[in-house]
A and B are shown apart, each in its own frame.
Chain A
Amino acid sequence: MSQALAAGPPGLPVTRRAGATCMRDTLHAEWTKLRTVAGPAWLVAGTVVLTVAVSAAATAAVRCPSGTACPVDTTKLSLTGIEFGQAIVAILAVLVISGEYSTGMIRVTLTAMPRRSAVLAAKAVLVAGLVLAAGTVAVGGSVLAGRVILPGHGFTAARGFPLESLADGPTLRAAAGSVLYLALIALLSLGIATVVRDSAVAIGVVLGLLYLSPIIIAAVAGDPVWSHRLERYAPMSAGLTIQNTTGLRGLPISPWGGLGVLAAWAAAAVLAGALVLRLRDA
């Protein structure tokens, strides 16, 4: 009897000992789930298309008429689409976990993979990887759009706006940082969705957390203490400082420091998610 169990059902090749599920299996299972539904593919495509489209539209909307000083950070301008693309990244990350809760799939998942933290870790690795790939394409497209559009709108090398290029240190930092920004937004969303479970509430919380900070900062502009605090510690405002290539001295927080603040938010959200996932019944 015990031999029969160890050998597994007849007809199926036995590759591993039963019960020895390791991280690789968890990753494989999660990848299969992600790969075999149409939603994630559409969302990844949507992230790329919308980010590039919004970046190109924003870049095309700005002109520098001759004879005027244009204090425009062209790199930041050509990455405007990230503010839009992050919303779709948030949907993708939220659905990875809350989709399982809405269909009841989570109970199957946790029965098959009882190590709950490993499940969340696998989801985090896959979502972050997927978003890094999508973000690289989206940011590359946005920078390319800026490179094509900007010189025709008065931002020429002769006037202090060299052709946008990833060989330029600050531009490379802004571009690579924007890709990382998207991945961190995905982790933040995943963590929040694990805590909240419902997709509508999770997406509301994530977008509220991201989009409210610039509005509040604009409203409390009269109070230097609060606006400075919010600019330093709100996830979107702090994280997007990585896109600045000019006027770095005037920033409320250094570019990498700002991305670090967002990373802290994301880590806190994922840890809270892991804790709640362990403590709560699914």
Chain B
Amino acid sequence: MTAGTVTPYRPGQQTGRDGFAQLLRSEWTKFRTVRGWVIGLVVAALVTVLLGLFAAGATFSSCQSTSGGPARTGAACGPTFPVGPGGEPVDDSFYFVRQPLTGNGSITVQVTSLTGLLPPANGNLPSNPAAPADTRPGLVPWAKAGLIIKDGTSQGSAYAAMMVTADHGVRMQDNYTSDTAGQPGAVSPASPRWLRLTRSGDTITGYDSADGTTWTQVGTVHLAGLSSKVQAGLFAASPAYTVVSQNFGGGTNGSSLSSQATAVFDHVSRSGTWPGSTWTGDYIGAGDASGIGGYHQAGGRFTVTGSGDIAPVVAGHGNEGDPGTTLTDRLLGTFAGLIAVIVVATMFITAEYRRGLIRITLAASPRRGRVLAAKTIVIGSVTFVAGLVAAAAAVIFGTQLARARGTYVFPASWATELRVVVGTAALLAAAAVLALALGTVLRRSAAAVTIVIVAIVLPYILGIASVLPVGAADWLLRVTPAAAFAVQQAAPQYPQVIALYSPGSGYFPLAPWAGFAVLCAYAALALGLAVMLLRRRDA
């Protein structure tokens, strides 16, 4: 045994080939060489696009012109909305008592009362909204009246307003989407509110006061490109009275009837150059709403009545004016794609158990956590890429098809579109990781596939198409992995507009990425459990 050292046999390429990159490569090879899995992913992408296109194509608008002309179809008869300064569709109808203001200046007023009329209270709204209804006194929560400075009288023009509201105190609102709170509390003759708007160049500042001497600044807004001559004065508006009701078969419906508000103004005082000599009262956007409105002047006291709203249009079926579909509707096929992805991701591990390949895999690379990590990265990446392609195609082609079929497609910023598309791809990837982890824990395909599908898809179905009340459906979409569909919400929820914000019309209870985080938490938990069990158990 003195014949020197014995060199153990080492295959030439062994050193340096045991890295994580090799493990990734071997898992990728496993994935791409099983024809069924590749087909499964292609099917997932295809059904995602095709179902979205089907839904976009099946929704078809037809209408008849009011003058009894021929019936029209397609792009000629979608709803039209005024467009606000930010490019979003807006509601802009209210009663306006105005005078022109040239250059800088300000207007101050005391509001002593806000009252109104509502449609009947029994919840059984007449099936024909045009039918005369027995009104009753009362105000919708966002009935509003006050001062407004507006860049002309056309609908959708820039504005800033100080107002009293029925239930939300004094507010300053501008350009349809912004809303700032002032003094809380309702207005009454015993507790009047003083409002002031001051223009200085492009800047408009709003103040409120309880007594007309001590003033508090509520907010300052910049209205870019505001004309030198603007219209300023008093306004009143009252949004539609919305009742959210449950359907017999399931789901929820919203129905709206117009309401009206009447405000009493006193002590109107102005500074600056007001070239007009008298007040003009007219209804802005009379074609849109019922056109209820008018004003009465007695001495220094103005009584202004109006209906309608100055606010963003809320997307979704069943909301006022039926503004139709959003990006969310284009991605309906995600559910079908999701099921295919879950099946493929589960089989990526359970097939190894079924065929006994797991024993070879673990013999070749005994550090089991790293094997699962490599599988996670491979399945997550391929589903992300497939999802990205599918979601982008569904959004682009679906939007074109829907427009061609005359459906009003709610506009969204490119940042929102990007978030929805990338979020959908990430949702598919996270669901795939959850399925892989559960497949590792259970080692059986059928149970793992069912659990993941039921956990992600069923809460959504119960949310949109069951007799569950909105509260219970919202709760399901907060705590189950289905919360992740929040990344697909394309239209924002506005606290200052009451509407049907339900999952069925594309609104989710959690913020987009918060909802996605819920799914990620489930996936991480399952992955942790999978690593633990994979290490402890014999394969």
Spell out A's residues near B (CB within 8 Å).
Answer: 58, 61-63, 68-69, 71-73, 76-77, 80, 83-84, 87-88, 90-91, 94-95, 98, 102, 198-204, 207-208, 211-212, 214-223, 225-226, 244, 246-247, 250-251
Q: Mark B341-354, 1 if CB is under 8 A from A, else 0.
A: 01100110010001
Q: Is B465 an interface residue (CB 8 A)?
A: yes
Max count, chain B CB within 10 A of own CB: residue among A61, A73, A207, A218: A218
Q: Name the contact of B335 in the complex, choosing from A88, A211, A223 (C-beta under 8 A).
A: A211
Cα separation A44 to B502 with both chains bound (whole Å): 35
Minimum distance in angstroms from A138 CB to a CB of chain B: 16
Which residues in B have some Cβ–Cβ distance to A below 8 Å?
36, 40, 51, 54-55, 58-61, 122-124, 245-251, 317, 324, 329, 332, 335-336, 339-340, 342-343, 346-347, 350, 354, 407, 444-450, 453-454, 457-458, 460-462, 464-469, 471-472, 504
- Main secondary structure on B side of the interface with A: helix
One of A88, A201, A226 near B58 (C-beta < 8 A):
A226
Known: A62-B468, A71-B245, A71-B246. A207 touches B450 (CB 8 A): yes
Check A91 against B446 for contact (C-beta < 8 Å).
yes
Contact partners of B123 in chain A: CB under 8 A:
68-69
Query: Could you list some 7 contacts between A and B, CB below 8 A?
Result: A62-B472, A69-B123, A77-B467, A102-B354, A200-B347, A208-B336, A212-B335
In contact, A200 and B332 (Cβ under 8 angstroms) = no
Q: How many A-B residue pairs have CB under 8 A?
A: 150
B485 to chain A, nearest CB (A): 11
Q: A208 to B444, alpha carbons, bound, how many Å?
A: 19
In angstroms, Cα B342 to Cα A207, docked, is 11
Selected contact of A61 from candidates B444, B447, B454, B469, CB within 8 Å = B469
Instruction: Please judge, given known A-B contacts A91-B447, A220-B55, whether A201 and B464 are in contact too, CB under 8 Å.
Output: no
CB distance from B322 to the nearest CB of A (A): 9
Do residues A200 and B446 form an inter-chain contact, with CB atoms below 8 A?
yes
B294 to chain A, nearest CB (A): 35
Give the docked Cα–Cα distance between A201 and B446 (Å). Answer: 8
Residues of A within 8 Å of B336, CB to CB, are 208, 212
| Structural contact, A61 and B471, CB atoms closer than 8 A | yes
- Contact A200 to B449, CB < 8 A, known contacts A69-B124, A71-B248, A219-B329: yes
Closest to A70 in B: B246
Are B466 and A80 in contact (CB-based, < 8 A)?
yes
Q: Which residues of A contact B250 (CB under 8 A)?
A: 214
By a CB distance below 8 angstroms, the chain A residues around B335 are 211-212, 215
Q: Which residue of A lies closest to B339 (CB)?
A: A208
Known: A83-B458, A221-B317. 13 other contacts (CB 8 A): A58-B462, A58-B472, A68-B123, A71-B247, A73-B248, A73-B467, A200-B343, A211-B453, A211-B458, A212-B339, A215-B332, A215-B465, A223-B60
Q: How far is the CB of B481 from chain A (nearest CB, A)?
A: 14
- Which chain A residue shows the least CB distance to B448? A200
A91 to B324, CA, bound (A): 38
Q: Is the CB of A87 within 8 A of B450?
A: yes
Residues on B with C-beta less than 8 A from A214 are: 250, 461, 464-465
- Evaluate contact between A198 and B445: CB separation under 8 angstroms: yes
**In the bound complex, do residue A204 and residue B248 qualify as a contact, i.e. CB atoms below 8 Å apart?**
no
Chain B, residue nearest A72 (CB): B467
Q: How far is the CB of A34 from chain B (nearest CB, A)?
A: 15
Chain B residue nearest to A69 (CB atoms) is B123
Taking a contact as CB atoms under 8 Å apart, the answer to whether A218 and B449 are in contact is no
User: Are B458 and A199 in contact, with the CB atoms below 8 A?
Assistant: no
Q: Which residues of B contact A217 (CB under 8 A)?
A: 465
Q: Is the CB of A222 within 8 A of B60?
A: yes
